[in-house]
Chains A and B, each alone.
Chain A
Amino acid sequence: MRLYVPILVLAVLAAGFAIFSVTFGALAGPKRWNKAKLESYECGIEPTPAPLGGGKVPIKYYLTAMLFIVFDIEIVFLYPWAVTFNKLGAFALVEMVAFVVAVLIAYAYVWRRGGLDWD
């Protein structure tokens, strides 16, 4: 059971933070409403009125999101390697270079095929 104590503590802390920030914000913040503030947040897309057939979201958003994930994951791999670089030596360096090259190839593909152009 003692194993779960830290998790419980974390859950209490998280809940406390959420409750505190929402409550404190509501109590302390100034209340000057406008239309944009009342809308729900949808990454810059107008959520209402709902367009016919669900509407079209420019595919660029998805491209950007996917690219972000690719480089995000690259960092996830790079970080632990950087921490233990001295211990892993040349083998890990070679493997990591291979990994980065593979990601770069994807990057090159995106770049050449116009994935980085917004318009």
Chain B
Amino acid sequence: MSLAAATIPAPSIEYSQLAPMLIVFGAAVVGVLVEAFAPRHLRRPAHLVLSLGGLATAFVLTCVIAGSASIFANGSPGHNAAMGAVAVDRPTLFIQGTILVLAFVSVLLIADSAQDVSPFAGQAAAAPGSPEEREGLLAGLVHTEIYPLTLFAVGGMLLFPASNDLLTMFVALEVLSLPLYLLCGLARRRRLLSHEAAVKYFLLGAFSSAFFLFGIAMLYGYSGSVSLAAIASTVSSNTGSTTLLFAGIALTGLGLLFKIGAVPFQSWKPDVYQGAPTPVTALMASCTVVSAFGALLRVFYVAFGNLTWDWRPAMWAVAILTMVIGAIIAITQTDVKRLLAYSSIAHAGFILTAVIAASAAGLSSSLFYLAAYGFTTVGAFAVITLVRDPGGEADHLSRWAGLGKRSPLVAGIFAFFLLAFAGIPLTSGFTGKFAVFQAAVAGGATPLVIVGVLASAIAAFFYVRVIVLMFFSDPVPDGPEVVVPSLFTGTAVGLGAVATLVLGIVPGPVLDLANHAATQLFVR
């Protein structure tokens, strides 16, 4: 081999186009420095400034990039930055913007320490119930690492849907997952449950990553490249082993479907959503899902866009299973966070119906649905943090009985979120469902939509059941206390509610934005 003799062209990197991700990662790295050198009492404020400021700056930069003429000059769909590793195009920017806003709201929840102290364990390493733990509590130890961890995760989420080759995508997947595994185990209350969630998430996540990597290897074997565009061109030139190709599609698809929680790769979701600290659950249920859908859309639209007829039947099956199983199992849930986890599975199925359409309409409706669903989810989990027992959040549904009588405003807002999940008109949920089903019908997937509507009907049943429980049951004696939200949580709930309402009544501008983002699909 003549490696030494060959000249290696120095790669070029478009820093300005990658600025949002760089800012978030940079803020995370600075956050680590804060952890290392700042005195303890200054850490939380410093992290707050860094995280919120970093996310806000990144969002502004995303908007600036989306508005910049040079990238989209002459009708170009976008640009492949960093030697083709990272795509900068409109759908990606829409997704990244959504993630940044939702992450901002999630960080507000994470930062809320007005109730007792913080939703996070003071000292994660101390065994639950041990003397060390008590010592740590008395000493007032607080983990402020959650902020840099969150930022690392968000950075990974930004990169995940933007990755234009599979290796970058894998790295992004790991960057977003590893901090989340840790964050899941940091709950202050019910720590064993939280630890269990973290370990399960880690094991299964590693398992799925292995499949993903295996799939990448097969696709590399098929096309000799990990770049999505190169795989697509190999597909069109019809060379290479189709066995490798289809096994590769299945296994990379598995890795992505795992992250969105599609059946049969959903098992981690309820356990993890229940065990994780609620603000982290909010982050996972909104940002991670948005990011994973972004990556799924990119891989299936760009690399496998010419193979829709081949992967559609399998995806149909997955979508149907996801919608139906998510909705059905949710019925017998008694824990509100598990309930929302199953609801999130069902919603993943609804979005899949639009993904399967493999059209601009499918893309735009998915984008809209993701944004709408993300806001409602963050708001709903924010409400959950407010309903408390002496031992922490009152997650068991029986504790929510009669909440509407005790605290009509909080129960009313939660009921509103549930109605949005159920897809009742004048909420964002209706608009989103309408859009994805419309796209699915236009894509010829009418049976899928029929299943979707039936699953929505089943799902509506358990949402309404919670509402009935809250408003028409007698309050339980010594029921949970509804704490007055702090500024942070209040803002999160308010933003969620306003977005849910506005996207239900005046969805036009955001729909236009999503349509505009989707007209040219992804850059290749």
Contact = CB atoms under 8 A, between A and B. Distances in A.
Interface of A: 59, 83-84, 87-89, 91-92, 102, 105-106, 108-109, 111-113
Interface stretch (B32-40, B256-264, B329-337): B32-40
Contact of B35 (A84, A88, A113): A113
B11 A91 contact: yes
A105 B37 contact: no
B32 A106 contact: yes
Interface in B1-58: 4, 7-8, 10-12, 29, 32-33, 35-37
A91 B10 contact: yes
A112 B40 CA distance: 12
A87 B29 contact: no
Interface of B: 4, 7-8, 10-12, 29, 32-33, 35-37, 125
A112 B36 contact: yes
Given A59-B125, A102-B29, A89 B10 contact: yes
> Which of B4, B32, B33 has the largest count of A CB atoms less than 10 A from its CB?
B32
Contacts of B35: 109, 112-113
A109 B36 contact: yes
A40 to B, nearest CB: 25
Contacts of B33: 105, 108-109
Contacts of A88: 8, 10
Contacts of A91: 10-12
Given A59-B125, A102-B29, A105-B29, A87 B36 contact: no
19 contacts: A59-B125, A84-B8, A87-B8, A88-B8, A88-B10, A89-B10, A91-B11, A91-B12, A102-B29, A105-B29, A105-B32, A105-B33, A106-B32, A108-B37, A109-B32, A109-B35, A109-B36, A112-B35, A113-B36
A26 to B, nearest CB: 37
List the 6 closest pairs (A to B, CB-CB), nearest first.
A112-B36, A91-B10, A109-B36, A108-B36, A109-B32, A87-B8
Contacts of B4: 83
Contacts of B12: 91
Contact of B37 (A59, A106, A112): A112
A14 B29 CA distance: 43
Nearest to B33: A105
Contacts of A111: 36
B263 to A, nearest CB: 33
B101 to A, nearest CB: 27
Contacts of A102: 29
Contacts of A89: 10
Contacts of B11: 91
B128 to A, nearest CB: 14
B151 to A, nearest CB: 14
Contacts of B37: 108, 112
A102 B25 CA distance: 11
B111 to A, nearest CB: 21
Given A105-B33, A112-B37, A113-B36, 19 more contacts: A59-B125, A87-B7, A87-B8, A88-B8, A91-B10, A91-B11, A91-B12, A92-B10, A102-B29, A105-B29, A105-B32, A105-B36, A108-B33, A108-B36, A108-B37, A109-B33, A109-B35, A112-B36, A113-B35
